[in-house]
Structure formats: structure tokens, C-alpha cells
Amino acid sequence: MRTAIFLSTVGLLLVACDQRPESEYYGKYRRAELRYYAYAPPLIPHPVLNRECLDCHERGLVVQGFKAPVTPHPELANCEQCHVRADERIPLFRANRFVGVSEPTAAVRPQPEGPPLIPHRVFMREKCLVCHADPSRREVTQTTHPERLNCLQCHVEQRVQAALFQP
């Protein structure tokens, strides 16, 4: 117990000096590192200096040469409902053994020359191009034909189990 109190005090000291230069945060994290599991929303990898998230994340403001990832759902205004800032330097309260499902690594093509299916859920990610036509999203497949715009015309959602996504 005493150790826990001590550790959380150390944690707070760290938070208090969460004032590293922005280049310490931006673009430093792999996609999967920011997600609890494949379907979970990404954590916020930088200190929240103001709570106007969309100032940077609606259009993709460039800060110190790093482009802020654009949100695929700017219409959902209460960002902190799902995205929280969690400084990984704060010691845990108690250890946890959870291991989540990992992101799909490759998309399936029903036919060798056909368009690939979408290997993730489309819900809340309907604006495909904010991820798939953005070179700053290093780990995301980039489309060869962003000019087509209507992605869902050819690419359809691959479903694990119909009941999850459709009546």
C-alpha cells in the first residue's frame, strides 16, 4: 500500500513536468501503441494544452514539421469522451494481464485482381481518405487512386460475423 502511494506520487511529479518539447511527442508512437486493442480509440500522445482538439485535428495542422492526424469524425464534438491523455511514465496502480486483439495486417482480396475488402470496421471511420491518403499515417495502407473519392463503391467492409454490423 505504502509503495503504491509512493509510486503514484512519483507519477504525479512526472505529470507535473510533462513539459517536454512537442517534438518529444509528435510522430513518436506506432499506431498500435496508442490503442488498447484494435477497435479501441487512440489515446492522446501529447499533453492537452488546450481542449480545442479540432483546431489541429480537423484539418491537420502542421506543428514542428509533424502533421496532426485528421479525425475521421469531426462531427462528434466531445473528443474526451473516448480519447484520453495517459502518460505512460505514470506507474500503474496494479498490473493488468489484458491482451487485446491486434490490428489486421493485410486486407483480403476475394479475387486476385479485385479490390481489397476493408479489414476493419467502417463505423466512425467513414472518411477513408483522412487515413488512407495521408503520408503521415506511416502504418496505414495508402491508396493509389485518391481521386476516385467514393471508396465504398468498390471496397466493402469485411465482416467477421454479420450480426455485429447488420440486422
Partner 1 sequence: MRFTRREFIRHLAAAATYASLPVGLMDCSKGSSAFPEAVSLDPKLKWDKAPCRFCGTGCGVMVGVKDGKVVAVAGDQLNPVNKGLLCIKGYSLPGILYGEDRLTRPLIRSNGALKEATWDEALNLVAARFKETVEKHGPEAVAMYGSGQWAISDGYAALKWFKAGIGSNNVEANARLCMASAVTGFITTFGADEPMGCYDDFEKADAFVLWGNNMAEMHPVLFSRILERKRTASWVRIIDLATRRTPTTEWADMHLSMAPQSDLALANAIARFIINTRRYDRDFVSRHVVFRRGKENIGYGLEDKFSFRDQPRPMSFDEYAQYVQRYTLEYAEKVSGIPAGRIKQLAEIYADKFTKVVSLWCMGMNQHNRGTWINNLVYNLHLLTGKICKPGNNPLSLTGQPSACGTVREVGTLAHRLPADMVVTNPEHRKKAAEIWGVPVERINPKPGYNTVEMFRALDRGDIKAIWIQTTNPMVSMPNLNRYRTGAEKQDRFVVVSEVYPTPTTEVADVVLPSAMWVEREGFFGNTERRTQHWFKMVEPPGEARPDVWQTIQVARRMGYADLFPYGDETYERELFEEYRRFTLGTGHDLGTYEQYVAARGLRWPVVNGRETPYRYTARFDPYVSEGKDIEFYAKKDTGGRAVIWARPYEPPPEVPDDEYPFWLTTGRVLEHWHTGSMTRRIPHLHRAVPEAYVEIHPDDAAELGIQDGETVRVRSRRGSVELKVVLNGKGKPRRGSVFVPFFDENKLINEVTLDSYCPISKEPDYKKCAVKIEKRMAS
- Using CB under 8 A as the criterion, which residues of the chain lie in contact with partner 1 when the complex forms? 1, 4-5, 8, 11-12, 15-16, 36-41, 43, 51, 75-78, 80-88, 90, 92-101, 104, 108, 110-111, 113-115, 117, 119-121, 123-124, 153-165, 167
C-beta of 5 vs 135, nearer to partner 1? 5
Which residues have C-beta within 8 Å of that of residue 39, sequence separation ≥ 6?
A: 101, 120, 121
Side chain identity at residue 18, one-letter code = D
Residue closer to partner 1, measured from CB, 115 or 136? 115
For residue 5, the minimal CB distance to partner 1 (Å) is 5
The span from the CA of 90 to the CA of 76, in Å, is: 29
Q: Which residue has the cell 502511494?
A: 5
- Cβ–Cβ < 8 Å for 107, 118: yes
Q: How far is the CB of 52 from partner 1 (least distance, A)?
A: 10
